[in-house]
Amino acid sequence: MAREEVFDGLKEIMASVKPSLDLGTVTFDSKLVSELGIDSLSMLLLSLAVEHKFNMRFENTEKPFDTVGEVCDYVINALQ
């Protein structure tokens, strides 16, 4: 799956998890917490929705995701 496809899917999920988010401002470099305002509950909902949409699982990661691009890359690697 292409990175842009995953990115579009993530933006769709973000819109449902955080309806006030302006998707036009979301880029691969957008910081999940400090720029997009994703809090711990939103992060949990986001991760569950991503797992469901892309039929994959988040395994224990060494550090939390900082940017949208990091999530995209993780999903792509999980699907390979």
Cα separations in angstroms, 40 against 2, 17, 27, 29, 77: 28, 12, 20, 19, 24
Domains annotated for the chain, with CATH where assigned, are 3-79 (1.10.1200.10)
Across the range 13-21, mean pLDDT stands at 93
One-letter amino acid identity for 39? D
Across the range 26-55, mean pLDDT stands at 95
The sign of the CA dihedral 74, 76, 77, 79 is positive
- pLDDT bin (cut points 50, 70, 90) of residue 68 is very high
Its pTM surpasses 0.75: yes
**pLDDT of 64 higher than 90:** no
DSSP per-residue codes, 33-56:
TTTT---HHHHHHHHHHHHHHHT-
Across the range 44-61, mean pLDDT stands at 92
**In the 8-state DSSP scheme, what is residue 25?**
G
